[in-house]
Amino acid sequence: MTTRLACHICQNKKLHKFLSLGPIPLANSFLQQDQLSVSEPYYPLDVCYCSNCGLVQLAQVIAPEILFKNYAYLTGTSEPMKAHFAGLAEDIIKKFSPPSGALVIDIGSNDGTLLQNFQRYNMRVLGIEPATNVAKLASLRGTETLNDFFNESLAHKICSEKGQPRIILATNVLAHVADLESLLRGVNRLLASDGVFVIEVPYLVDMLSKVEFDTIYHEHLRYFAVRPLVTLFSKFDMGIADVEHISVHGGSLRVYVQKFIHSLPSSVTELLDLETEAKIDSLETYQKFAEDISRIKEELLSLLKALKNQGAKIAGYGAPAKGNILLNYCQIGMDILDYVTDTTPFKQGRYTPGMHIPVFPESHFHEFPPDYALLLAWNYADEILREEERYRQAGGRFIVPIPRPQIV
Ligand code: TYD
């Protein structure tokens, strides 16, 4: 682990630390039974604000090889994400009409779920995925995938072997990459001059307004708003051609970046106005966010303990990385939750990091329905509440932890 002393974008050395969620284990480090007796590594999790460029960022950086060489998360196991990526591919095709056979590159391509949509449009695709287990799965499914970290030198190699792509994608990647500058130099080197770099990142304004504090974990080094993104891309002679505020992952930005763009389109200035209104350039906003987080912990624990005292059975619904932050930060263990359930095969049969709660497939939830389900995967609330209509009809209740713990 290294500690960053300067801003990831503007190198300002005066960062304001406003929140500590650690020490805490890595959010995706699910354990096998024989690992439960061995002590797990805990790391600090400190969050800072740069008053110069506006970037919210972690103070600590864990080595990417530790975080991403073997990865628990598979895009294809989330039906809502499959639908989301099908929509993204369709939007890009409509907006840019790339010719069939054009090259599409996905940085952090996971199991190839997003690229498979472009394959259906007869485009050439290449995934770049550092997690060996996940890259292998994508290749087996017929999506050409390089098992590597994307950086400037890999960009040179791809360019000479495959040519320049019309489309480069990076969904939920810009927050994860330790060497952001090398990534962007690589994108600039690789992208065709009339190409587009499409990114999606969770939106800081949503994180603050909905108190989505559990999306803060070691994999997410940065929490973006439009203002720091404008500064970032301009450093690499690129600019935002268009931006959309979308609902995925609790509220995200989809940003279309192109070379040689130097003016701000109205979609950018509208969001810059929203950011001013949300006071994201005031340190007080971050101090209030930290207070809101403590309040959620207090209220959630008192709600869960009261239900437990009444003899209720409670389980966790979903075992996302964010759920592990919530459970560890609030210290919710097996004295409260009987188990958690998750659709990801890798997580099933394992135990959650830190709190050591067993993870079962969804079938366990239907076999042993609890009185209350703590919705850890709150970003899929609509889909999950719809899916579990029968459980709810039978009297089962969901507890949604943010922005204020609530029984629904
Ligand atoms: P997600 O919120 O996408 O990511 P993160 O790990 O970054 O916080 O993860 C959602 C998790 O919830 C994932 O492990 C799959 C699981 N899940 C279910 O168990 N059931 C469901 O119906 C859905 C939609 C997801």
pLDDT tier at 70, thresholds 50, 70, 90 = confident
Q: Is the CB of 315 under 6 A from ligand 1?
A: no
- Give the span between the Cα atoms of 57 and 232, in whole angstroms: 14
Is the CB–ligand 1 distance for residue 322 below 6 Å?
A: yes
Q: How far apart are CA 74 and CA 129, in angstroms?
A: 12
The residue contributing the CA closest to ligand 1 atom 14 is 320
Query: Measured between alpha carbons, how far is 61 from 178 in angstroms, rounded to an integer?
Result: 7
Q: Quick: pLDDT tens for 358-383.
A: 999 999 999 999 999 999 999 999 99
**263 DSSP 8-state letter:** S
Token couple for 5 = 């002393």
Q: Alpha helix locations (H) across 33-179?
A: 64-68, 79-96, 113-120, 132-140, 152-162
Q: What is the pLDDT of residues 248-269, one digit of tens each?
A: 999 999 999 999 999 999 999 9
Q: Buried (b) or exposed (e) across 284-315, using 16+ Cβ within 10 A?
A: eebeebeebbeebbeebeebbeebeeeeeebb
> How far away, in angstroms, is 178 Cα from ligand 1 center?
24
At position 198, the amino acid (one-letter code) is: V
- Whether pTM > 0.85 for this model: the answer is yes
Per-residue pLDDT, 75:
94
How many angstroms separate the CA atoms of 45 and 64, rounded?
16
Give pLDDT tens digits for 139-154.
999 999 999 999 999 9
151 pocket-lining for ligand 1 (C-beta < 6 Å): no
Q: Strands of 334-375 (E only): list them.
A: 340-341, 359-360, 372-375
pLDDT in tens, 88-121: 999 999 999 999 999 999 999 999 999 999 999 9
Reported confidence tier of residue 137, pLDDT bands at 50, 70, 90: very high
Quick check: 333 and 356 in contact, CB under 8 A? yes
Q: Is the pLDDT of residue 72 over 90?
A: no
Per-residue pLDDT of 384-399, as tens digits, reads 999 999 999 999 999 9
Q: Cα–Cα–Cα angle for 299, 318, 107, nearest 5°?
A: 115
Task: Tell me the residue ranges of DSSP E strands in 291-370.
Answer: 314-317, 340-341, 359-360
Cβ-contact 49, 18 below 8 angstroms: yes
Which ligand 1 atom sits nearest the alpha carbon of residue 215? Answer: 8
What's 368's DSSP letter? S
Indicate which residue's Cα is closest to atom 23 of ligand 1: 78
Looking at ligand 1, which residue's alpha carbon is closest to its atom 1? 320
Give the residue whose CA is nearest to atom 25 of ligand 1: 78
